Amino acid sequence: NAGVTQTPKFRVLKTGQSMTLLCAQDMNHEYMYWYRQDPGMGLRLIHYSVGEGTTAKGEVPDGYNVSRLKKQNFLLGLESAAPSQTSVYFCASSLSPYNEQFFGPGTRLTVL
């Protein structure tokens, strides 16, 4: 039982490059979330999903896209990376918004 895993753990991109972050959970959770953590800003919600095939925007969705084709996976895409997207990205999953969220270990992304 791995919980929530994230791939990759670290990545350095140049401005304008694209990449996809993969989140996988093995707890059969309906809800999945992508957050970014920046100093002094806490955890800000980028996009989330309430079930397979669904996605919704969070607080800071601009510049990101997501897909949830399978219940266990939630992908976060950056089509054209910008230095402002340098951050630590966390994925999480939960049974519902009222249940605890289980977080992955994070992906540290640097955009030069």
Would you tell me which residues interact with another protein (CB under 8 A)?
4, 31, 33, 35, 40-45, 48, 50, 56, 58, 90, 92, 97-98, 100-106
Whole-number minimum distance, CB 98 to another protein, in Å? 5
Instruction: Please state, in angstroms and rounded to a whole number, the distance separating the CA atoms of residues 82 and 29.
Output: 31
Comparison of 9 and 70: residue with beta carbon closer to another protein: 9
Record the tokens describing residue 93, joined without a space.
Answer: 């999953």
Nearer to another protein, 19 or 45 (CB): 45
Report the residue number, 41 or 112, with the smaller CB distance to another protein: 41
Q: Where are the beta strands (DSSP E) in the chain?
A: 4-7, 10-13, 19-25, 31-38, 42-49, 56-57, 65-67, 73-78, 87-94, 102-103, 107-111
CA distance 38 to 42: 6
Whole-angstrom distance, CA of residue 25 vs CA of residue 95: 12
Minimum distance of another protein from residue 79's CB (angstroms): 23
14 vs 98 by CB, closer to another protein: 98
Give, as one character, the DSSP assignment of residue 100: P
- Residue 63: CB minimum distance to another protein, A: 19
At its nearest, how many Å lie between another protein and the CB of residue 101?
A: 7
